[in-house]
Structures are given as C-alpha cells and as structure tokens.
C-alpha cells in the first residue's frame, strides 16, 4: 500500500514538527482536517526518513506495546507488537513481515520537517 492510499494521508507541505525536537526515532501523529495520520520518523544526523507507522504484519503501530523502536545497533526499526524487524534506511522487511514499511517523503524547510510532494 502506498502512503497516499491512507484516508488520512496529509497533503504535501503539511508541517510535521520542528527538526530540533526529533531524536533518533519518533512515533508521531500528524493531525489534519482528514484526521490523524500515524508517522514514524527516523533521524541520523541530517538524514531524515519517514514511514507510515503501521507494521504490514497486522497494521498495528510499531510502538503498539512500547517505545523501544530502534535495535541496539541502531540499524533496524522494531515492531513492539510481534518483533518484526525493518531496515532503518529503506524500511524493507528483514524478519517477521512479508513486506516493508510504506515510506513517506519528507523534507526540511527552515528547520521544520514537512511532508514532501
């Protein structure tokens, strides 16, 4: 499923958060007039990646049972519900799911993370 297939997908240009407030991984909710959109943001220095916060195994948020979303080596995103693992850089499934996370394009504009077009 593409991120734009979600009924609550925010429009390009929608503000997500100030970049300075992000740690290594954050589970966020982007609120628009369409409703709440679950977003998972991973930051590695200046590099920021975002995915729909929905594990493709059961479509539960990766942080459903806890906020430990990053593996000890910092290379994988973890699903707290059933232990699926995903490549941090690509969202591809490593173990526990048949497909990867749905990427969401983001960019930084004047220190603010926004949905890209």
pLDDT in tens, 31-74: 999 999 999 999 987 789 999 999 987 889 999 999 899 999 98
- Amino acid 34: pLDDT: 96
**Among candidates 41, 29, 33, which has minimal Cα distance to 7?**
33
In the structure, what pLDDT confidence band is assigned to residue 11 with cuts at 50, 70 and 90? very high
3 state SS of 21: helix
User: Does position 1 have pLDDT exceeding 80, yes or no?
Assistant: no
User: Does position 117 have pLDDT exceeding 90, yes or no?
Assistant: no
Which phi-psi region, left, alpha or beta, contains residue 37 (left: φ > 0; alpha: ψ -120 to 50)?
beta
3 state SS of 5: helix
- Amino acid 108: pLDDT: 95
pLDDT in tens, 73-110: 989 999 998 889 999 999 999 999 889 999 999 999 99
> How many other CB atoms are there within 10 angstroms of residue 43's CB atom?
16
First CA to last CA across the chain, in angstroms?
17
CA 88 to chain centre: 10
């Amino acid at each position: 499923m593409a991120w734009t297939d979600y009924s609550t997908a925010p429009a390009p240009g929608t503000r997500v958060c100030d970049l300075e407030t992000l740690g290594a991984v954050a589970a966020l909710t982007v609120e628009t007039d369409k409703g709440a959109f679950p977003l998972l943001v991973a930051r590695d220095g200046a590099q920021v990646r975002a995915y729909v916060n929905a594990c493709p195994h059961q479509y539960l948020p990766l942080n459903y049972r806890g906020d430990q979303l990053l593996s000890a080596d910092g290379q994988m995103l973890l699903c707290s519900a059933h232990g699926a693992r995903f490549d941090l850089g690509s969202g591809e499934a490593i173990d526990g799911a048949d497909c990867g996370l749905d990427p969401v394009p983001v960019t930084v504009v004047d220190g603010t993370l926004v949905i890209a077009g």
